[in-house]
Amino acid sequence: MSTIRVKDGTEIYYKDWGTGQPLFFHHGWPLSADDWDTQMMFFLERGFRVIAHDRRGHGRSTQTYNGHDMDTYAADVAELVEALDLKNSIHIGHSTGGGEVTRYVARHGAGRVTKAVLISSIPPTFMQSERNPDGVPKEVVDSIRNGTAFNRAQFYKDITVPFYGFNRPGAIVSEGIRENWWRQGMMGAVTAHYQCVKVLSETEFYDDLKMINIPVLVMHGEDDQICPFPTTGARSVKLLRHGTLKSYPGLPHGMPTTHADLINADLLSFIRA
C-alpha cells in the first residue's frame, strides 16, 4: 500500500495512478478513496494523473482518535501534496470532501492549485444556526451522530437510500452501489466517523470561500437529500470570486456514482476549459 506518515504519526493511505496533469479527489463522509473509482478510471484513460486518499480514520488510513477537525484534514492533504510534489493540480471534492478542498485550497493551495470543484458539498456551512437559519436541523445531525455511534452497521445501510435518491419514484435501486457504500464506511473507525459528523456539520467556510482566487465549479443536485441545494451549493457560489454553479434538477447527493457519465463529462469540460 502507498502511505505517507504525517507530522503526528498518522499514516495516510493514497492511490496515485498515471501521468499528466494531477487531479486530486477528496471523498465524503464516511467513505474512502474507493468512492472515486469511476472518476479515476475515466480520467486515467484520458491522460491525467489521478490521486485520491483515505482521510485519517477512514478507509485504510490510521484509525487515530486525534486530529478530527477540518484544519488537520487540510494539513494532511498539504503534506501529501508536498510529498508528491503536485503542481498545476485540480482538487475535486464530494460532500465533506468539498469542505476539505475549500479549506485546503484557501490555506495551502497557493502556487499548486489551478482549479477546484465542489460536488454536493457542505460549504459554506451545513447545520442550522443563527448564521444559517435554513440549514439542516440539529436533531437531524444528532440522529446521524447517534446512528453512527450506536447502530453503525444498520444505519449505514439505511442512509444509502436517501444518499442516492433510491427513495424517489422511478429510481432504479442498485444493491451493488449500496453495498459498496456500506463496505467503505465499515472499513473506517467508528470514533473517527463520529467525530467527523461534528466537523462536517459545524465547520464554517465563509472566509475560506472568499479567499479562493481560482476558478471553482460548484456542482449540486437539486434533489440532494443530504446537503440541501439552496443552503449549501447555491450559497457557496455567491461567496467565491470566480465561482460557477451547475445545478442538476432531480439528481441526488450521490450523483457522481448514480450519474457518473454526466458528471464526468461536465468535469472534463471544466478541466479543459
Nine cell digits for residue 48: 491525467
Measured CA to CA, the distance from residue 269 to residue 166 in angstroms comes to 28
Q: How far apart are the first and last CA of the chain?
A: 34
Of 61, 95, 201, 236, catalytic: 95
Q: Give the relative orientation of helices 260-272 and 37-44 as an angle to the nearest 10 degrees.
A: 50
Other beta carbons within 10 angstroms of residue 81's beta carbon come to 22
Of 58, 94, 193, 253, catalytic: 253
Question: 220 catalytic, yes or no?
Answer: no
Cα R_g (the chain), whole angstroms? 17
Question: 174 catalytic, yes or no?
Answer: no
Question: 253 catalytic, yes or no?
Answer: yes
Nine cell digits for residue 198: 461534528
Helix runs in the chain, H state only? 37-44, 70-84, 96-108, 138-150, 152-163, 175-187, 190-202, 206-211, 233-237, 255-258, 260-272
Please list the active-site residues: 95, 224, 253
